[in-house]
Amino acid sequence: MEKMSCPSTVSGRTMFCHLDAPANAISVCRDATQVVVAGRNIFKIYALEEDSFVERLNLRVGRKPSLNFSCADVMWHQMEENLLATAATNGAVVTWNLARPCRNKQEHLFTEHKRTVNKVCFHPTEVHMLLSGSQDGFMKCFDLRKKESVSTFSGQSESVRDVQFSMKDYFTFAASFENGNVQLWDIRRPDRYERMFTAHTGPVFCCDWHPEDRGWLATGGRDKMVKVWDMTTNRAKEIYCVQTIASVARVKWRPERRWHLATCSMMVDHNIYVWDVRRPFIPFATFEEHKDVTTGIVWRHQHDPYVLLSGSKDSTLYQHMFKDASRPVDRANPEGLCFGLFGDLAFAAKESLMTGEAGRKPYPAGDRRYPIFFFKKPDVTEQFAQVASALSVFESESDGSSRMDWFIKTARRYLLSGKPFAELCDHNAKVAKELNRPQVSTTWTMLRIMFSDPGNPAPPANHNMSKLGNIPLMNRYSCAFFLSFCPSFHSVFLPSIHSFIFSFYLSIENEETEGSDGQAEYLFGDAELDDDDLYSMEHENQAEEAEFSLPQEAFPLRHEIVDHPAAPEPPAEKPESPQVSGSEAESFCLTPMESFSLISVSQLLYQPQLTPSFFSPVVREMLDHYAEQGDVQMAVSVLIVLGDRIRKEIDELTQEHWYMSYIDLLQRFELWNVSNEVIKLSTCSAITCLNQASTTLHINCSNCKRPMSNKGWICDRCHQCASVCAVCHHVVKGLFVWCQGCSHGGHLEHVMEWLKSSNHCPAGCGHLCEYT
Amino acid sequence: MDSRDSGATWEGLASRDAGSRDAAMESLHQEVMKRVESIGPVPETPYSPAASDLNHILARILMLSKRCPYDDVKEKCIWILRSIQDIGVRIPRPLGNGPSRFIPEKEILQVSKVDARTQSIFEEAFSLGRLDNISLVMGFHPQYLECFLRTQHYLFQMDGPLSLHYRHYIGIMAAARHQCSYLVNLHVNDFLHVGGDHKWLNGLKGAPQKLQALGELNKILAHRPWLLTKTHIESLLKAEEHSWSLAELIHAVVLLTHYHSLASFTFGCGITPDIHTDGGHTFRPPSLSGYCVCDIANGNGALEEMLGNHQATEVSGEVEVLMERMKQLQECRDEEEASQEEMATRFEREKTESMLVTTSEDEECVPSRDVSRHFEDTSYGYQDFSRRGEHVPTFRVQDYSWEDHGFSLVNRLYPDVGQLLDEKFQIAYNLTYNTMATHQGVDTSMLRRAIWNYIHCMFGIRYDDYDYGEINELLDRSFKVYIKTMVCSPEKTTKRMYESFWRQFQHSEKVHVNLLLMEARMQAELLYALRAITRYMT
């Protein structure tokens, strides 16, 4: 075919015109000066002027146009400029001759198809050959010199959605079907297709031969994929695949650009995309003008890659200029950042950016960089924004605090239920302490003291704990005590705790007359609890809070008191902190002996006036604080352990939010058991139902490999017992372990036993199984 | 027997393992005997709670004795009933004759005996506790039944945008539109079982506002889907805190249409209440006449059945005529081509004619007990197309079809359901055994297409490539009456209608027709609903 006009001669701008009705298909004539638009209620020819569309001809004539005018598809002959063909929804194939002198240009009417004709296609080089594909599953080849079809091809399956003559092979055409198949036919052999393959799941709506590459066929389907097949080999080979966001209605190779094709969708998405098949994740260019789905696209000239025409359901006809297309890649963010589960950080950015920064600032130790480069070779004529990204991965230091080990260990070791409240608290406090988290540990102890029911002392299960279980009476005083001793705690309870302590303090003073006053004085004197101290301490702590270095001086002391005054632990174990502030220094000098006496003092002062509910607001604040700090683990654990004591205080949504966050975290760390326990123990209805969903496990029969759809142990298809132990040949009911290599297996204990003595699979398949 | 305990026992009976069935049967037997002894042979107060508990169990045993796919359980259940009857306990007996009022029980139950596939599907359904009468009747067509059960299972049990009790409630709403007490009762139980609120059952007023808003959509979809516009969709999606999400709405729409059409099937096949539910059995001794109450109410007795059979022999040749016509159509199509004008008017004629087919047989329709409360505005029924001068533009299937458009939308918003529905439509549409009555090797595609398109025609959906003249040739008047009634006001279907069309055809073929009707109706409703949603989205 001679090049009549070189691409540069076709100039123009992005423009559109309103049609009277939605378009179903469009086609251009050979010299790219006119376009025909066809639809249910429209059949017109427009001339493409420099800056507008001009209606040339309305082919819909007659007072009451028949259904023959209701077009599903239209094609303009590429050799004979007066010849057009349309596919009508009622099953007619009509040809039109523009050279006819009268108004009605209809030339032939073929009504051989029984159902809607989806597609018509002229032979690219043969003037009189027309092909049609219909809903009835037949393709027909018409010789326009005769009044009827010359051959009929039966797809032997459901409806034909598209037919396309090959550009290069004179006799070949491709047909795509509603059941996902694509067939290749030789026009001379109507009895049988040359080859067939399944291209998509669900209907294949369209196909298009590559204009240059012999044997490249692009197909688009309802499954939202565009696939490029290489047909030159024995089996059709999928060489490229582009995943779009909606079902693909049309696909057209871009002229002069080997790797580019344009697509539009049938539903939901109104844009036209031009893809580079080698970069399937981002469209090369997008045309976003249409307001309803695009139904027809065609490149204006077969050698000009810069002008695209499109018709749409929104009753407009557009000419898109490539220079006006939007380039998603320009808007795409070439930087990416992601946190790994264990505190690793991966960061990808444009190469230029990375090198600049790297030169400026050396990375700290512990960072290892893996440079990975993504390159795209620049196109000769087209500039698909070249992106080269470098990916860096920063690994966190193995012993650093940023690692999440503490989270995992805490999650594993915390007890959330199954023991009396006080014991749970003590256990968790111990766990936290062992993991070097004094603040959390202290919180647990505090909680136990606050909420232990004086009437119901915990049974002396643990000899250390029991002492405290029996003296909940000291709750008020020891509370104040801790508050003063543990500045880190302060930061947790702020700000409400302040007023609390204050009122608390006053109430103590009022009560001084009752009981043994002197010793009460002694307590406070020792703890240095007076107004000034409270205030000063607070300032201090606020300053510290910012840095998050938590002073731990109070910690060992508390430990002494709580655990067992009689047997103080060696000081070496106490975590030491270099900073010792004023009031803390004093509290630090408290000896075990003194603290012991404290207990006895407070015992005398037992007053059952402060109910646990008194503490609720404080605890609520504390939980909020923890959650805010990102330690949702603590918030949820406390919530569960406290149960009804606190639940009413916190609104349902917040609780749900915490639970969800915690469960999400647990599942990321694959702590399935813990997460399930949390789900079970939660009281939010939205959470408890989480482990009710998706609990079905589908298995296949080991004999016939079909899905086992029923209950029980017998496959209903091959009537064999499905899960038989390879060792004892009995049905396994319960734990079934199997090799992932050869998929044989059986009772857990049998397989363990067997593999102790043998390396091979017990089924005798010869696979070297391994049990770890 | 506390509920959990009994649950395990019933489950045991549904096991495929003969041993565990046996064990469960044994424990059931002991349980019954224990209760019987505690109550005494002749209870003075027949309505004591203990007695009513026992009666529940007995009703279930009765159901098992009739419906259980396992013979051993069946026999044992019969034996239990006999043995306690012998010691003077009143035992229930089933009301009505089998799963359907229209089809003899023998014929339905025979199916599973012959076809291994049906048997295995029944067993599976049974083990899930879902072997209801609908499934039994559909058992004529195992290929379809399998797909149907899978879809239903997915819609109600698997992950989806709506919570379980919402799903069942929507099912109740939809079935209640057609006063289908069978489906309503079925889902009231399920609804309560998944933790639904009793108060909602007092009517739509008791339900959350979100569901109340759905009432309008339900009404329109059931009776006049062509009136659905994007404003309806918008009002549902933009109702502030009561608004629906698109995914939820799609789920709801699928449920609604599924249940409207299933109600059609239920009435069309005359499905009777399941034996173990209320209205499925009675403790009264059989009366002399041997009719059950509902049969008398509908004027359907054994006598008429005999009459019907008698007539059937008279009108022999009906099938042959139909086949002849099909053949003629096939041939003459190639010869003469109807003019375009002619084609266009044929659709209009069929459309207008479909409304002249009167549905009301002046049947006394008694809305059953507690169903009516679920729907307001009973006056709102199927209104014929373009009557009263309101002209609605014809829906062209070529512009919005299930395969091209509907599927994509559904699958996008409610993954996998599009696939399931697609499969279901295709199986229903393509199902054929190449038989007609006693004739073998017949291509029935023409007939099936005529039925499908006639139903769509009633909803104003037109296929450009179909000659609506064919419908007139192939579907006779009594058949049209049946189709029209079943699709538009299924609650008015009577046994007489069922019997008066296609007299020579077998019951399985009539069930097949019912499946076609049901799926065609569902697709028609879905198309309108999805088109409205698409319009809202663009």
Residue A166 belongs to domain with CATH number: 2.130.10.10
Q: Which of A694, A720, A750 is the last residue of a domain?
A: A694
Based on the fold, state whether residues B462 and B369 are members of the same structural domain.
Answer: yes
Determine, for residues A203 and B341 on separate chains, whether the beta-carbon distance falls below 8 Å.
no
Identify which of A28-42, A410-424, B369-383 has the greatest average pLDDT. Answer: A28-42
Domain that holds residue A392: 333-356+365-375+385-396
The Cα of A205 is separated from the nearest Cα of chain B by a number of Å equal to 9
SS3 A362: coil
d(CA A140, CA A144): 12
> Residues A617-630: what's their mean pLDDT?
85
The Cα of A608 is separated from the nearest Cα of chain B by a number of Å equal to 43
Based on the fold, state whether residues A171 and A305 are members of the same structural domain.
Answer: yes
Determine, for residues A292 and B538 on separate chains, whether the beta-carbon distance falls below 8 Å.
yes
Determine, for residues B534 and A267 on separate chains, whether the beta-carbon distance falls below 8 Å.
yes
What is the predicted pLDDT for the residue at B278?
Answer: 64
Based on the fold, state whether residues A238 and A352 are members of the same structural domain.
Answer: no
What is the predicted pLDDT for the residue at A206?
Answer: 94
On whether any CB of chain A is under 8 Å from the CB of B464, the answer is: yes
Based on the fold, state whether residues A644 and A686 are members of the same structural domain.
Answer: yes
In this complex, the residue of A115, A203, A710 whose CB is nearest that of residue B465 is: A115
Is residue A26 pLDDT above 90, yes or no? Answer: yes
In this complex, the residue of B120, B396, B538 whose CB is nearest that of residue A40 is: B396
Domain that holds residue B265: 104-282+319-537
In this complex, the residue of B124, B159, B399 whose CB is nearest that of residue A693 is: B159
Is residue A519 domain-resident?
Answer: no
Reported as a single tens digit per residue, the pLDDT across A229-281 is: 998 888 888 999 999 989 999 999 999 888 999 999 988 888 999 999 988 88
Based on the fold, state whether residues A316 and A435 are members of the same structural domain.
Answer: no
Is residue B296 domain-resident?
Answer: no
What is the predicted pLDDT for the residue at B40?
Answer: 62
Based on the fold, state whether residues A233 and A293 are members of the same structural domain.
Answer: yes
Is residue A372 pLDDT above 80, yes or no? Answer: no
Mutate to test the interface with A, among B20, B401, B403, B410 (most CBs of A within 10 A): B403
Based on the fold, state whether residues A198 and A338 are members of the same structural domain.
Answer: no
Reported as a single tens digit per residue, the pLDDT across A521-575 is: 434 434 444 444 444 444 444 434 444 444 444 343 333 333 343 333 434 333 4
Residue B34's CB is within 10 A of a number of other CB atoms, namely 12
Based on the fold, state whether residues B21 and B84 are members of the same structural domain.
Answer: yes
Alpha carbon separation from A391 to A347, A348, A359 (Å, rounded): 6, 4, 16
Tell me the β-bridge partners of A299. Answer: A308
Based on the fold, state whether residues B76 and B120 are members of the same structural domain.
Answer: no
According to DSSP, the β-strands at B461-462 and B395-396 are: parallel
Q: Is the model more confident about A403 or about A362?
A: A403
Helix (H) or strand (E) holding A338: strand A336-339
Is residue A595 pLDDT above 80, yes or no? Answer: no
Based on the fold, state whether residues B518 and B376 are members of the same structural domain.
Answer: yes
On whether any CB of chain A is under 8 Å from the CB of B123, the answer is: yes
How much is the mean pLDDT over chain A? 74
Distance, C-alpha A25 to centroid of its chain:
36
Q: Which of B24, B115, B16 is nearest to A721 (CA)?
A: B16
Based on the fold, state whether residues B205 and B110 are members of the same structural domain.
Answer: yes
Q: Which of B466, B495, B271 is nearest to B361 (CA)?
A: B495
Q: Which of A694, A715, A749 is the last residue of a domain?
A: A694
User: In chain A, whose CA is at the least distance from the CA of B150?
Assistant: A709
Determine, for residues B464 and A293 on separate chains, whether the beta-carbon distance falls below 8 Å.
no
Is residue A307 domain-resident?
Answer: yes
Region of residue B466 (phi > 0: left; psi between -120 and 50: alpha; otherwise: beta) = beta
Q: What are phi and psi of A477, to 5 degrees?
A: -75, -45
> Residues A748-763: what's their mean pLDDT?
81
Based on the fold, state whether residues A343 and A247 are members of the same structural domain.
Answer: no
Residue A392's CB is within 10 A of a number of other CB atoms, namely 18
Based on the fold, state whether residues A350 and A222 are members of the same structural domain.
Answer: no
Question: Chains A, B: CB contacts under 8 A, how many?
Answer: 94
Q: Under 8 Å CB-to-CB from A735, ≥6 apart: which residues?
A: A747, A748
Determine, for residues B408 and A267 on separate chains, whether the beta-carbon distance falls below 8 Å.
yes
Q: Helices A421-434 and A405-413: crossing angle, nearest 10°? A: 150
Number of domains present in the structure of chain B: 2
On whether any CB of chain A is under 8 Å from the CB of B15, the answer is: yes
On whether any CB of chain A is under 8 Å from the CB of B533, the answer is: no
Question: How far apart, in Å, do the first and last CA atoms of chain B sit?
Answer: 58
Q: Under 8 Å CB-to-CB from B194, ≥6 apart: which residues?
A: B164, B165, B168
Is residue A260 domain-resident?
Answer: yes
Is residue B313 domain-resident?
Answer: no
In this complex, the residue of B17, B407, B538 whose CB is nearest that of residue A712 is: B17
Is residue B110 domain-resident?
Answer: yes
Is residue B221 domain-resident?
Answer: yes
Q: Which of B59, B74, B94 is the last residue of a domain?
A: B94
Determine, for residues B120 and A694 on separate chains, whether the beta-carbon distance falls below 8 Å.
no
Based on the fold, state whether residues A310 and A262 are members of the same structural domain.
Answer: yes
Ranges of chain B whose pLDDT falls below 50:
1-4, 287-314, 334-336, 359-369, 372, 376, 384-386, 388-389
Interface of B with A in 92-121 (CB under 8 A): 120
In this complex, the residue of A202, A268, A714 whose CB is nearest that of residue B409 is: A268
> Which one of the listed residues B68, B77, B147, B180 is annotated catalytic?
B180
Is residue A16 domain-resident?
Answer: no
pLDDT bin (cut points 50, 70, 90) of residue A153 is: very high
Is residue A757 domain-resident?
Answer: no
On whether any CB of chain A is under 8 Å from the CB of B75, the answer is: no
3-state secondary structure B59-76: HHHHHHHHHCCCHHHHHH
Reported as a single tens digit per residue, the pLDDT across A210-219 is: 988 888 999 9
Q: Which two tokens stand for residue A539?
A: 């300032």
What is the predicted pLDDT for the residue at A469?
Answer: 38
Q: Which of A119, A138, A120 is nearest to A129 (CA)?
A: A120
Determine, for residues B409 and A266 on separate chains, whether the beta-carbon distance falls below 8 Å.
no
Is residue B306 domain-resident?
Answer: no
Determine, for residues A67 and B159 on separate chains, whether the beta-carbon distance falls below 8 Å.
no
> Residues A653-667: what's their mean pLDDT?
87
- Please say if B180 is a catalytic residue: yes
On whether any CB of chain A is under 8 Å from the CB of B241, the answer is: no
Is residue A249 domain-resident?
Answer: yes
Overall residue count recorded for chain B in this entry: 538
Q: Which of A630, A659, A694 is the last residue of a domain?
A: A694
Based on the fold, state whether residues B142 and B272 are members of the same structural domain.
Answer: yes
Determine, for residues A266 and B405 on separate chains, whether the beta-carbon distance falls below 8 Å.
yes
Determine, for residues A67 and B409 on separate chains, whether the beta-carbon distance falls below 8 Å.
no
Q: What are phi and psi of B463, to 5 degrees?
A: -100, 120
ipTM of the complex: 0.76
Based on the fold, state whether residues A221 and A345 are members of the same structural domain.
Answer: no
Q: Is the model more confident about B448 or about A451?
A: B448
Based on the fold, state whether residues B205 and B136 are members of the same structural domain.
Answer: yes
Identify which of A68-72, A251-255, A686-690 has the greatest average pLDDT. Answer: A251-255
Q: Which two tokens stand for residue B66?
A: 């009739």
Q: Is the model more confident about A89 or about B12?
A: A89
3-state secondary structure A179-238: CCEEEEEECCCCCCCCEEEECCCCCEEEEEECCCCCCEEEEEECCCEEEEEECCCCCCEE
On whether any CB of chain A is under 8 Å from the CB of B362, the answer is: no
Based on the fold, state whether residues B186 and B166 are members of the same structural domain.
Answer: yes
SS3 A131: strand
Is residue B287 domain-resident?
Answer: no
Based on the fold, state whether residues B410 and B503 are members of the same structural domain.
Answer: yes
Is residue A655 domain-resident?
Answer: yes
The Cα of A104 is separated from the nearest Cα of chain B by a number of Å equal to 16
- Taking contacts as CB-CB distances below 8 angstroms, the residues of chain B near A135 are 465
What is the predicted pLDDT for the residue at B309?
Answer: 44
What is the predicted pLDDT for the residue at B254?
Answer: 94
- Taking contacts as CB-CB distances below 8 angstroms, the residues of chain A near B156 are none
Based on the fold, state whether residues B71 and B122 are members of the same structural domain.
Answer: no
Based on the fold, state whether residues A297 and A342 are members of the same structural domain.
Answer: no
Mutate to test the interface with B, among A104, A268, A314 (most CBs of B within 10 A): A268
Based on the fold, state whether residues B61 and B143 are members of the same structural domain.
Answer: no
Number of domains present in the structure of chain A: 3
Q: Which of B94, B125, B150 is the last residue of a domain?
A: B94
Is residue B200 domain-resident?
Answer: yes
Mutate to test the interface with B, among A267, A268, A717 (most CBs of B within 10 A): A267
The Cα of B449 is separated from the nearest Cα of chain A by a number of Å equal to 12
Q: Which of B66, B94, B122 is the last residue of a domain?
A: B94
Based on the fold, state whether residues B55 and B119 are members of the same structural domain.
Answer: no
Is residue A278 domain-resident?
Answer: yes
Based on the fold, state whether residues A348 and A433 are members of the same structural domain.
Answer: no
What is the predicted pLDDT for the residue at B20?
Answer: 79
d(CA A60, CA A44): 7
The Cα of B412 is separated from the nearest Cα of chain A by a number of Å equal to 8
